[in-house]
Homo-oligomer: A and B are copies of this chain.
């Protein structure tokens, strides 16, 4: 009968009210919010209180500074969400196995989907990535960042928004976790070569829109990672060390 009453601070109400207006559609992406003073007047609050609400709204990604100083409604981007998701996974002590199992699902599907959508434009980007990797390898620089980029490229080509959202945080953790591999004597020399080889094969398959082969090579590629982890004697059930930031 009498449900739990919770008093929300005014700034929270401000945030929720504006958010509600946005999802309801009365404020559309691109629209400028009223000025802080106007909002304060409307709500019958001080500018300070309104500002605290706006700070939360800002962090939620629903508003941002489009052109000038004024806050504008925008469509939040999944690129903003990914780092936060990554952070959650790390702080919750996600294990290599969990990441690997997720990647084992998401990446092959990403490759498969890319085969159906790929354009000449995309191929150029992929080739550029491969070339950059070769160069980095020869120069003795790390290829991890380029690896992450490669997989992100594939996902972007596949153009499934749900998949991209799901994939990104996992990839942000999984691939950097492989840094250990490339530093390890057992895999330092062969690892990067095998990686580039797999990427090469995937691109070749995509060029001829061969989704089956692309998917197969991606799966092999993922299994390679897993095997490398084992070969190096690393425990797949341990939480990832915090150093992967």
Contact = CB atoms under 8 A, between A and B. Distances in A.
Max chain B Cβ within 10 angstroms of own Cβ: one of A76, A89, A166, A242:
A166
Please classify how large the interface on chain A is, using the bins under 10, 10 to 19, 20 to 34, 35 or more: 35 or more
Nearest to A60: B59
Q: Say how many copies of this protein the assembly contains.
A: 2
A53 B59 CA distance: 10
User: Secondary structure at chain A's binding surface: helix, strand, loop or mixed?
Assistant: helix
Contact of A88 (B53, B81, B113): B81
A156 interface: no
A109 to B, nearest CB: 5
A44 interface: no
A76 B169 CA distance: 15
A209 B85 CA distance: 31
A213 B84 CA distance: 36
Interface string A78-113: 100100110111011010001101100110010001
A182 interface: no
Contacts of A53: 55
Contact of A56 (B58, B78, B167, B242): B58
A170 B163 CA distance: 9
Contacts of A160: 98, 101-102
A101 B23 CA distance: 25
A173 to B, nearest CB: 8
B81 A77 contact: no
A105 to B, nearest CB: 5
Interface string A148-165: 000000000000111101
10 contacts: A23-B245, A55-B56, A59-B60, A75-B91, A77-B88, A78-B92, A81-B84, A98-B161, A165-B166, A165-B169
Interface of A: 11, 23, 25, 29, 48, 51-53, 55-56, 58-62, 75-78, 81, 84-85, 87-89, 91-92, 94, 98-99, 101-102, 105-106, 109, 113, 160-163, 165-167, 169-170, 173, 242, 245
Given A75-B92, A98-B162, A101-B160, 6 more contacts: A76-B84, A81-B81, A81-B84, A94-B161, A105-B106, A165-B170
